[in-house]
């Protein structure tokens, strides 16, 4: 008879996967210490938030993004916790611990975890130990703070929850040599394999044809279907209720993770477009893919026209984003399978090593709650292509720890041990994350490592969807979503050329060469038009940041041309790029809108900053233009204009905010603090909206 283990709820709020890593590590280490952990993204827990007061132990790992914002997958639960109506002893039965990941190079250092701790305390939770503050600026990154914090966490927990009878603590220096895999893989042979193959092939062919997928798109579809089945197994292994895709990794924008996006938690609210979502994408026809920067310009920016479903099931609002899952190059997938010595045509069955096997259900219920058996029977080649990011994102330290177990050659074993250690962290960072090393490259560098499939599934990064702001309005272009996509390419510190996984795939799609299909769905964006068209808009969108504003303006344009009442107020657009002759895309469209009165007439209306055009070599950016036009902007603000800022994060949003504050001081007679308070008020009431991605 097994004594039920103490359940521990581990939530993570992760933007780039670091907080998730930390949470998963804490999960492994609590499991070794005979607790029953559940590791989930915060918003996956939001539907069950009522259970929170009943959780005996809560560990929360929360990242702060550069601008001081919480990650997307925390927004809903955080919002619930901020409600004024909650009593101060709501969480009196909860013992909690918070670890924050942040970067002290930014002013709002670790504010998310600090606020979280304060709020949990205000709701009566008792902290097991002080807030842990992981800092990217530290030589060893967040782990410099995490290791000592964990050393304090274990005795703090043990003081309240004694060891089950017969169990022993792991030795202090023990570096988890008894890693347990979440999955069990069965390689189907002979009859079983043939049967699985036949059944699946028929079903797949029919489904693909029904959705218009042929050729490469059919392969893509098969891959995503396999990944979808694996998601269910992953969710079961994590102890999540079935049907929830909370196990899916946090989303990231094409060029990185968004700093502010009102993304919604998987499985909670439905997508903006009815019925389609990450579990069931719509296979959209690519109508057009044309370059909108000058051929001689160094950056390749495309306008993609994507045809949406005939019925209104993929309707979107201006400001919404289109999500899609990229297709990895077949050559890379083949190379990986060859390297691992696997047959792409092999069929495998993946099952979770539950929970159930450990003697207690994953959710800790002592009844040993019986779950229906979950398994995924898939073709190996499809699974790897659809589920694992083998040619893009870098694996994390845990991957190297796992690889260490399976390396044979002495030099490799030694090096992998070093990379897995605290001392080797810097060198690992330089070799791996900083250099953008892919799973395929790591496996190629460590040739002797024979990693089993179940471990690859557990340790390799998952293939994530990418998000693009929709640059058109349905009123101007019905049944269509237009995107402005900058093809991502950069040079690593070691001078190797890297390309973005999604944008390089998109760049190669040519509708003229036969039908190209993209798996897409709509997600709610962060930016929203004001309810009334009478509100004048100030739009600041350098580069591809202008995309959501094009959808805003097209919407206003449609209203104006239809003689709608009340009449839309003229707007002001600040656009920044490098050269007037190189990347001033959509120029003729803005000029037309000025003539129509959608944008204010010259010299206002469309204000441009061409950063590389100044004869004296001075770099002019949108924030300089904002400051220059301070008087006119102040008049607009005083008349109730709403401000929108979109584009690459880094310094731009803060610089623009500072420019607006300066305008308030210079032309509105406000003091510095009053100006800052005004902007803060506007932010809180939705009159100043920012969508920034890194």
Partner 1 sequence: MPTSLVLTSAPAVALQQLQALLEAQGLSAAEPVAVATGSGSLAAGTLAAAAYDTIISVASSQGHHSVALLGVLAAALKPGGRLVVQEPGTSNADLSKALLLSGLPGAAPAPGGGLAVTKPAWQTGVKAAIALKPRGAAPASAAPAAAASAAANGKGGTWTLALDGEDDDGELVDDEALLTEEDKQRPAPAAKSDDCEVGAAGRKACKNCTCGRAEGEATEVKLTKELLENPTSGCGSCGLGDAFRCGGCPYRGLPAFEMGKKIELPSDFLAVDL
CA 394-398-403 angle, 5° bins: 90
According to CB under 8 A, which one of 135, 231, 234, 245 is a site residue for partner 1?
135
Report the candidate in 301, 303, 300, 297 with the shortest Cα–Cα distance to residue 613.
297
Q: 380, 337 in Cβ contact below 8 A?
A: yes
Total of chain residues touching partner 1, rule CB under 8 A: 102
Q: List binders of partner 1 among 372-431 (CB under 8 A).
A: 411, 415, 419, 426, 429-431
By CB under 8 A, residue 158 contacts partner 1: no
CA 303-598-687 angle, 5° bins: 90
C-alpha span between 480 and 476 (Å, rounded): 9
- Span from 91-99, 300-308, 597-605, 649-657 in contact with partner 1 (CB under 8 A): 91-99
Q: List binders of partner 1 among 509-568 (CB under 8 A).
A: 524, 526, 528, 530-532
Residue 37: helix, strand or coil by DSSP? Answer: strand
57 or 217: CB nearest partner 1: 57
CB of 167 to partner 1, least distance (A): 18
Query: Within 13 A of 185's CA, how many CA atoms are on the CB side?
Result: 18
Spell out the alpha helix ranges (H) of 328-450: 330-340, 380-387, 397-406, 410-420, 425-431, 439-445
User: For the window 251-270, what string marks contact with partner 1 as x by the rule CB under 8 A?
Assistant: -----------x-x---xx-
According to CB under 8 A, which one of 40, 62, 460, 678 is a site residue for partner 1?
678
By CB under 8 A, residue 137 contacts partner 1: yes
- Span from 77-85, 303-311, 337-345, 379-387 in contact with partner 1 (CB under 8 A): 77-85
405 or 498: CB nearest partner 1: 498
- Span from 74-82, 273-281, 592-600, 605-613 in contact with partner 1 (CB under 8 A): 74-82
By CB under 8 A, residue 613 contacts partner 1: no
3 or 614: CB nearest partner 1: 3
CA 516-285-376 angle, 5° bins: 75
According to CB under 8 A, which one of 241, 256, 424, 452 is a site residue for partner 1?
241
Say what angle helices 652-668 and 630-638 make with each other, to 10 degrees: 80
- Report CA-CA distances (Å) from 672 to 48, 626, 658, 664: 44, 17, 10, 8
Q: 576, 611 in Cβ contact below 8 A?
A: yes
According to CB under 8 A, which one of 169, 343, 423, 445 is a site residue for partner 1?
445
Residue linked to tokens 């292994």:
237
By CB under 8 A, residue 687 contacts partner 1: yes
Helix (H) or strand (E) holding 489: strand 489-491
298 or 494: CB nearest partner 1: 494
15 or 113: CB nearest partner 1: 113
According to CB under 8 A, which one of 29, 47, 184, 344 is a site residue for partner 1?
47
Report the candidate in 149, 108, 530, 509 with the shortest Cα–Cα distance to residue 318.
530
- Span from 80-88, 149-157, 459-467, 564-572 in contact with partner 1 (CB under 8 A): 80-88
By CB under 8 A, residue 315 contacts partner 1: no
According to CB under 8 A, which one of 29, 31, 32, 86 is a site residue for partner 1?
86
590 CB-near residues (< 8 Å, 6+ apart): 573, 575, 599, 605, 606
By CB under 8 A, residue 604 contacts partner 1: no
According to CB under 8 A, which one of 155, 195, 640, 672 is a site residue for partner 1?
640
Q: 42, 79 in Cβ contact below 8 A?
A: no
C-alpha span between 668 and 634 (Å, rounded): 7
CB of 526 to partner 1, least distance (A): 8
212 or 329: CB nearest partner 1: 329
By CB under 8 A, residue 479 contacts partner 1: no
134 or 386: CB nearest partner 1: 134
Q: In this structure, are strands 537-540 and 347-352 parallel, antiparallel, or unpaired?
A: unpaired
Give the number of other CB atoms < 10 A from CB of residue 391: 21
Strand extents, DSSP E, 25-74: 35-41, 57-63
By CB under 8 A, residue 184 contacts partner 1: no
C-alpha span between 397 and 533 (Å, rounded): 51
117 or 625: CB nearest partner 1: 117
By CB under 8 A, residue 363 contacts partner 1: yes
By CB under 8 A, residue 294 contacts partner 1: no
State the maximum Cα–Cα separation within the chain, in Å, rounded to a whole number.
82
- Span from 78-86, 166-174, 195-203, 456-464 in contact with partner 1 (CB under 8 A): 78-86
CB of 66 to partner 1, least distance (A): 13
Give the number of other CB atoms < 10 A from CB of residue 434: 14
């Amino acid at each position: 008879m097994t004594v039920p283990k103490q359940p521990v709820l581990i939530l993570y709020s992760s933007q780039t996967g670091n907080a998730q890593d930390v949470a998963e590590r804490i999960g492994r280490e609590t499991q070794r210490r005979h607790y029953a952990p559940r590791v989930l993204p915060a918003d996956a827990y939001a539907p069950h938030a009522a259970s929170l007061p009943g959780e005996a132990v809560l560990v929360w790992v929360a990242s702060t993004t550069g601008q001081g914002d919480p990650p997307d997958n925390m927004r809903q639960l955080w919002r619930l916790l901020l409600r004024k109506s909650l009593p101060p002893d709501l969480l009196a039965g909860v013992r909690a611990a918070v670890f924050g990941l942040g970067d002290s190079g930014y002013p709002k250092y670790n504010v998310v975890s600090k606020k979280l701790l304060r709020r949990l305390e205000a709701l009566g939770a008792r902290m097991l130990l002080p807030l842990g503050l992981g800092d990217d600026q530290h030589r060893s990154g967040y782990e410099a703070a995490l290791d000592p914090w964990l050393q304090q966490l274990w005795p703090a927990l043990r003081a309240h929850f004694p060891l089950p009878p017969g169990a022993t603590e792991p030795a202090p220096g023990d570096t988890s040599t008894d890693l347990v895999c979440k999955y069990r893989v069965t390689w189907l042979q002979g009859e079983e394999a043939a049967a699985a193959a036949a059944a699946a092939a028929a079903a797949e062919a029919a489904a693909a044809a029904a959705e218009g997928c042929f050729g490469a798109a059919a392969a893509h579809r098969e891959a995503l279907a396999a990944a979808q089945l694996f998601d269910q197994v992953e969710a079961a292994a994590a102890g999540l209720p079935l049907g929830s895709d909370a196990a899916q990794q946090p989303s990231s924008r094409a060029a990185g993770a968004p700093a502010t996006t009102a993304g919604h938690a998987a499985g909670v609210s439905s997508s903006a477009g009815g019925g389609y979502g990450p579990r069931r994408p719509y296979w959209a026809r690519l109508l057009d893919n044309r370059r909108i920067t000058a051929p001689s310009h160094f950056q390749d920016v495309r306008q993609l026209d994507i045809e949406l479903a005939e019925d209104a099931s993929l309707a979107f609002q201006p400001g919404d984003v289109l999500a899609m899952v990229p297709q990895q190059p077949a050559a890379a997938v083949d190379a990986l399978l060859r390297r691992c010595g696997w047959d792409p045509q092999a069929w495998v069955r993946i099952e979770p090593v539950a929970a159930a096997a450990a003697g207690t259900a994953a959710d800790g219920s002592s009844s040993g709650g019986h779950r229906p058996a979950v398994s995924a029977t898939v073709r190996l080649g499809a699974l790897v292509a659809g589920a694992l990011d083998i040619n893009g994102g870098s694996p994390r330290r845990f991957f190297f720890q796992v690889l260490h177990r399976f390396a044979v050659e002495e030099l490799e074993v030694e090096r992998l041990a070093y990379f897995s250690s605290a001392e080797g962290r810097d060198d690992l960072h330089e070799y791996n994350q900083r250099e953008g090393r892919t799973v395929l490259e790591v496996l190629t560098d460590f040739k002797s490592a024979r990693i089993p499939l179940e471990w690859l599934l557990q340790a390799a990064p998952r293939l994530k969807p990418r998000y693009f702001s929709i640059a058109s309005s349905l009123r101007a272009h019905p049944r269509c979503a237009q995107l402005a996509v900058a093809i991502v390419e950069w040079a690593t510190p070691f001078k190797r050329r890297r390309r973005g996984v999604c944008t390089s795939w998109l760049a190669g799609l040519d509708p003229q060469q036969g039908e190209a299909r993209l798996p897409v769905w709509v997600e709610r964006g962060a930016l929203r038009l004001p309810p009334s068209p009478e509100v004048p808009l100030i739009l600041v969108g350098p580069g591809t940041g202008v995309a959501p504003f094009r959808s805003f303006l097209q919407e206003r344009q449609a209203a104006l041309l239809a003689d709608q009442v009340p009449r839309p107020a003229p707007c002001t657009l600040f656009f920044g790029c490098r050269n007037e002759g190189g990347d001033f895309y959509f120029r003729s469209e803005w000029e037309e809108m000025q003539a129509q009165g959608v944008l204010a007439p010259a010299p206002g209306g469309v204000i441009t900053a061409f950063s590389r055009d100044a004869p004296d070599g001075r770099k002019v950016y949108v924030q300089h233009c904002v400051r220059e036009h301070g008087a006119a902007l102040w008049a607009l603000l005083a008349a109730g204009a709403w401000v929108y800022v979109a584009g690459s994060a880094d310094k731009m949003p803060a610089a623009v905010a500072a420019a607006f504050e300066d305008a308030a001081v210079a032309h509105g007679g406000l003091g510095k603090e009053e100006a800052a308070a005004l902007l803060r008020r506007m932010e809180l009431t939705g009159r100043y909206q920012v969508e920034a991605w890194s």
